[in-house]
Structure 1
Amino acid sequence: MKYKNKTHKLAEFAKELLDKKSLESGLPHIAKYVKEVVDADRCSIFIYSATKNELWTTLADGVERIAMPANKGIVGYTIKVKKPVVTNDAYSHPEFLTAIDEQTGYKTHNIVTAPIFNSHRDIIGVLELLNKADDFDDEDVRFMIFFAHYVSGFIELLKTYRDEEAYE
């Protein structure tokens, strides 16, 4: 029963996402859904610029834009290892940036991240969830990998929309 509910929710989510034509409208929709399904407190979607070696949030719940070098923090570590990272004790992870919590006043307990790959398998960003009441588990990691594909597809679809509008 639970599986059917998640599948139904995913189908509804995907249908609604097709109506979104900008990062500003689509990314909050994505964040709301992924937080609800995984039962996390916050979601951030980081965009990666390989040329600038920088990460910045297009969406970060509860805080202003976060920008940082791409080799810092758990998000930067996700780019380096090119796979999901999960830690259920953020402050014990050697890559965790306590400075972000200090700047925002938010206390991070646990984190799960997943790299966002484009269709050429280049990393274009990182999807991050914070503070699940229970620990993040393997099912959450699998869902993050799956969901990162939605983020990637949405970003690439927006680029296609923009390219088509430029020719009109």
Structure 2
Amino acid sequence: MNPAFSYKKLADFGRTLLNRLSLEEGLPMISEYAKQITGAERCSIFIYNPKIKMLWTTLADGIEKIMIHKEDGIVGHTVKEKKPILVNDPYIDERFLPAIDNKTGFITKNIASIPIFDSNRHVIGVFQLLNKPSGFTQEDIKSMIFFAHYISGYLELAILFEDDTNSLMKGIR
């Protein structure tokens, strides 16, 4: 396990996370924790909407919302393959979308992309960690798979809660 990872820190994190009802409250907390335990510079959390076959972020460090089709980019391939993808030289990987770097001015040096599953083993999201100074390792992947399992219940409930709230709001209008 990653040296920055501790079960006590994870338990403390989980208790705090459960007090965050919306994705807008919980995702920044999840992202910060993921960066702390891996040493990544950035972390984007993509939520997958199977109805429109798109991935979107409410949180992408340093930039506005990103929307990507499930067939595109490393994040899309993570959904399609349903397994982690580690890329330590993205500019030579055909799946990489350099247009996002071009738009933001950020230079992606390495990527760890980890699927997040719901209780029925459907992909509901993806962590995408960027730019670990020493490059991502299989140990990072193991830590993030464990972390993805840990927070998946929260994400599944938060997504359902937001869907219900949006449905209620449409009925009121």
Do the structures match in fold with TM over 0.5?
Answer: yes
Shift of 1:128: 0.7
The correspondence of residues 1-168 of structure 1 with structure 2, limited to 5 A, is 6-159=6-159
SS in 1 for 2:6: helix
Shift of 1:160: 6.0
Q: What's 2:171 paired with?
A: none
What amino acid maps onto 2:74 in structure 1? I
CA contact (8 A) 2:78 2:85 kept: yes
What amino acid maps onto 1:83 in structure 2? K
1:13-53 C-alpha deviation (Å, 9 max, x unpaired): 11111111111111101101110110000000101122211
| Counterpart Cα distance in 1 of 2:42 and 2:4 | 25
1:72-128 C-alpha deviation (Å, 9 max, x unpaired): 000011111110000111111110001010011100000001111110111111111
Distance 1:5 1:43, change over 3 A: closer
CA contact (8 A) 2:48 2:123 kept: yes
| Counterpart Cα distance in 2 of 1:142 and 1:5 | 11
SS in 1 for 2:113: strand
CA contact (8 A) 1:113 1:144 kept: no
What amino acid maps onto 2:143 in structure 1? F
TM-score, structure 2 normalization: 0.87
CA contact (8 A) 2:117 2:123 kept: yes
| Counterpart Cα distance in 2 of 1:103 and 1:65 | 12
SS in 2 for 1:132: coil
CA RMSD of aligned residues (A): 2.0
Shift of 1:54: 0.9
- Unpaired stretches in structure 2, ≥5 consecutive residues: 169-173
Shift of 1:150: 3.0
What amino acid maps onto 2:122 in structure 1? D
| Counterpart Cα distance in 2 of 1:8 and 1:118 | 24
What amino acid maps onto 1:146 in structure 2? F
What amino acid maps onto 2:27 in structure 1? L
* Deviation larger for 45-54 or 95-104: 45-54
SS in 1 for 2:131: strand
How many residue pairs match? The answer is: 164
- Unpaired stretches in structure 1, ≥5 consecutive residues: none
What amino acid maps onto 2:18 in structure 1? L
**% same residue:** 50
Shift of 1:161: 5.3
